[in-house]
Structure 1
């Protein structure tokens, strides 16, 4: 079957908001090309129906495309992902934007709960003089992040360790990044998130604030003078997380994502101006 026809048939039955896109990505994977190359040159190629059908079946069962393919684009970079890691999402690029707006040419960068390493490595990619440390409590996740650093040519300017938030940290950093778990245990998530992405990276107690209460008090001891921290938040959490920050002498500034939703709190010491 031609790729064009297989894609159309799959898109008619796939779940999710973007079935055509998902079908194109799966077909491109089977053909060994990227999606742009598929659309430009390979829609009339014969597609291995058995291989494509197996991937379509996985997607119909709810498995996210990123896990099926083993990678996901973020900040125009290609990141390997596994079920150990959250899938990078475009909304989180707001954190990178905030960090770059605050960063000098050669910052020391810390990423707490680094996951795939997408936040840290995106900042390092944009700041050739920067050096960064990623921390994650999962050894498997830290290994994925280190592999992404190697693949992106950033291994010589980054390191990844296994630890519980700031417990293993010594020294101070100019930029601190974090996309911590912030989903309340009472919240209901879409099945493809709840059933496939790691719950330890999603849920943070009643109201989803438990990890902010661990991270924020430690920031004043690991931020460099004039440094800033940039935390992803749930869209209803801006006021609550800001209250935690202010109680620990930090001034919050809210940044919204492209959809206009609260997405990032940038924190500075109150005496830093």
Structure 2
């Protein structure tokens, strides 16, 4: 139970973690996912374009929530992954299959530790899960900062969506408990917190940067929009290996902005 003077250190971290289900098909899985995250002390569930628009009221979803009706009822429904990642500094995609291009691959435990570290610095964290049948599309994976794979039995590696959510929620709970304990024993002193320029870049900041870079590359003729190949995917993979700060994102956006402006001036000359 939270202290009467405010949330516990763990609750503070848990409030910065959200679980995102992309295009879930089965109401029962949505309800079971709500239950899975509540049992681990989390409460934010975001649904990206679910198959059933009224999934929160579906009897099967409410039955499978089994006591996590509050989490289910409060679940936000958004149109796309960009909206689900708004305000997030670090996001993790869960995938059952290898990707030729994509962010760095982490084990679930390492992913939990990295996510908890971001939350401990005040950043928002998102764990992203795909559709029950097809998983996450490549373009959704590329929007995340890291990817995780649950090392299940190779002879039978099929995990239900809510089971996958439970595994990652458990790992995130362990990591947040450790981070909360560490912060209680060694609290930040004034001046230790990251400055605004050093703060981790948000998902929308990075999406804007890639939009600017792509436009600049097209303008200078380096990227053919009719035959882009894998250039932008490779760039996303490259930047995913770094922990971009807002200041760094602004530098790259500034470069792209000046390239576009110079090209515009040259055309008008």
TM-score (norm 1): 0.29
Larger relative contact order (Cα-Cα within 8 Å, sequence gap ≥ 6): 2
The structure with the largest helix share of the pair is 2
The structure with the largest strand share of the pair is 1
